[in-house]
Amino acid sequence: MKSSYIGAILIGLSSLVSFSLIAADSEAGKSKSVACSGCHGADGNSASGVWPILAGQHASYLAKQLRDFKSGERADPIMQGMVAALSKEDIQDIAAYFAGQKSKPVAFDQGLAAQGENIYRGGITEISVAACMGCHSPDASGNGPASYPSLKGQHSEYLVSQMKKFRDGTRANDSNSIMRAIAGRMSDREMMAVAAYISAIQ
């Protein structure tokens, strides 16, 4: 009885893996992502700090953000228009495509980066700001299964803009309000410093 139960579980898991592999078609995602290239670049490396680098980001995180834009949980009029017609399959394919691309180095403020390292690795104890690496990992590569994004090599300008949005509540799709709680205690200068350090991790 026990072996039959285990066998059923293994078959179920293999089916899920097979479905995942079939559903996420990065080659299809490449053609479906053409509209994204205007802001994010053909390979996910945006030329402007206004728009995030998508190359090398966890597919699970990218897919979640696209779903959140589609549902309105993450508000952005441009992105909501872009994703309105995307199916679940389209979202998975596009996420898989960008996840498979390689990010390119970006510019950063070296002086600020040195200050930001302490925040990223140790937090800010006096205002109860936790170390960023607790969720985003010591090398800023994030945690795919938990949908915590990879931050390394991201544009500083974009990182600061998102922290400010979490701080003022205009972005509220963070799990358990974690980012809103952290950003709500940080100053602009602290945000700029930690963003510069993250950009420097390449």
pLDDT band at 17 (very low <50, low <70, confident <90, very high): very low
CATH number at residue 175: 1.10.760.10
Kindly state whether residues 140 and 184 are assigned to the same domain.
yes
Kindly state whether residues 83 and 38 are assigned to the same domain.
yes
Would you list the DSSP string of 68-125?
A: HHHHTSS--HHHHHHHTT--HHHHHHHHHHHHTSPP------HHHHHHHHHHHHH-BG
The arithmetic mean of pLDDT across residues 44-70, rounded, is 98
**Does residue 21 register a pLDDT over 70?**
no
Kindly state whether residues 192 and 117 are assigned to the same domain.
yes
CA distance 198 to 181: 20
**Does residue 126 register a pLDDT over 80?**
yes
Residue 76 lies in a domain: yes
Q: What pLDDT does residue 19 have? A: 40
Residue 65 lies in a domain: yes
Kindly state whether residues 89 and 140 are assigned to the same domain.
no
Kindly state whether residues 115 and 195 are assigned to the same domain.
yes
Contact assessment for residue 196 and residue 108, using Cβ atoms and an 8 Å cutoff: yes
The arithmetic mean of pLDDT across residues 82-97, rounded, is 98
Q: Please enumerate in sequence order all residues whose Cβ is within 8 A of that of 106, keeping only pairs 6 or more positions apart, or say none.
A: 49, 53, 153, 154, 155, 156, 199, 202
What are 138-150's pLDDT values in tens digits?
A: 999 999 999 999 9
Residue 127 is classified by DSSP as G
CA distance 37 to 48: 12
Residue after which a domain boundary falls, among 99, 123, 151: 99
Kindly state whether residues 155 and 118 are assigned to the same domain.
yes
Kindly state whether residues 127 and 85 are assigned to the same domain.
no
Domain hosting residue 71, numbered range: 24-99
Kindly state whether residues 94 and 158 are assigned to the same domain.
no
**Does residue 14 register a pLDDT over 90?**
no
Half-sphere CA count of 72, side-chain side, radius 13 A: 0
Provide the domain count of the chain.
Answer: 2
The arithmetic mean of pLDDT across residues 109-134, rounded, is 97
Residue 6 lies in a domain: no
Tell me the pLDDT of the chain averaged across its residues.
91
Kindly state whether residues 160 and 184 are assigned to the same domain.
yes
pLDDT band at 172 (very low <50, low <70, confident <90, very high): very high
Kindly state whether residues 125 and 172 are assigned to the same domain.
yes
**Does residue 52 register a pLDDT over 80?**
yes
> Helices then strands (H, E): number in the chain?
11, 0
pLDDT band at 24 (very low <50, low <70, confident <90, very high): confident
Contact assessment for residue 78 and residue 64, using Cβ atoms and an 8 Å cutoff: no
Kindly state whether residues 92 and 39 are assigned to the same domain.
yes
**Does residue 70 register a pLDDT over 70?**
yes
